[in-house]
């Protein structure tokens, strides 16, 4: 009977060892799957971050170009304004002429007429 008990115990130990080995293999596979998943997610996040940074850089460059263009337009407007505002002067001449200075050239207007619509 002790041989039978030993055989049952040996069979139990063998089945237990096989179950333990299968569980270990299953855990190893799950760990590998988890590592692959984590690496894939990290790669996706890195790609999205790179794309976001590239888009941000493009937008910042566009903003800089627009700011430069706006500054240039503003400077041109100020120049035009100074030419238009600072050049016409109503000289109270005896003949009633309006003197206009444009780019250093003086013009006199003796007669005015209403603009046609």
**Each residue's pLDDT tens digit, 64-113:** 999 999 999 999 888 887 766 655 555 555 666 777 776 667 777 766 66
pLDDT at 99: 72
User: How big is the CA angle at 16 (ends 14 and 17), to the nearest 5 degrees?
Assistant: 65
pTM for the model stands at 0.47
pLDDT given for residue 94 in this prediction: 61
The span from the CA of 92 to the CA of 83, in Å, is 21
Confidence label for 13 from pLDDT (cuts 50, 70 and 90): very high
DSSP state, 114?
P
Sheet of 98-102: strand order equals 88-89, 98-102, 105-109
Structure confidence at residue 93 (pLDDT): 55
The per-residue pLDDT for 108 is: 72
d(CA 35, CA 53): 27
- Residue entry with tokens 């997610």: 41
Cα(60)–Cα(68) distance, rounded to whole angstroms?
12
Q: What is the pLDDT of residue 25?
A: 96
Which secondary structure element, helix H or strand E, spans residue 96, and what is its range?
Answer: none
Query: Percent of the chain having pLDDT more than 90?
Result: 58
């Amino acid at each position: 009977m002790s041989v039978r008990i030993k055989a049952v115990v040996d069979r139990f130990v063998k089945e237990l060892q096989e179950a333990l080995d299968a569980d270990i293999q299953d855990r190893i596979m799950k760990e590998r799957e988890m590592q692959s998943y984590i690496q894939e997610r990290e790669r996706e996040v890195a790609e999205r971050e790179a794309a976001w940074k590239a888009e941000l850089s493009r937008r910042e460059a566009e903003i800089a170009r627009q700011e430069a263009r706006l500054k240039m337009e503003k400077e041109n407007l100020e120049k035009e304004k100074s030419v238009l505002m600072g050049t016409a002067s109503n000289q109270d001449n005896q003949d009633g002429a309006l003197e206009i200075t444009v780019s250093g050239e003086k013009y006199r207007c003796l007669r005015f007429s209403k603009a046609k619509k």
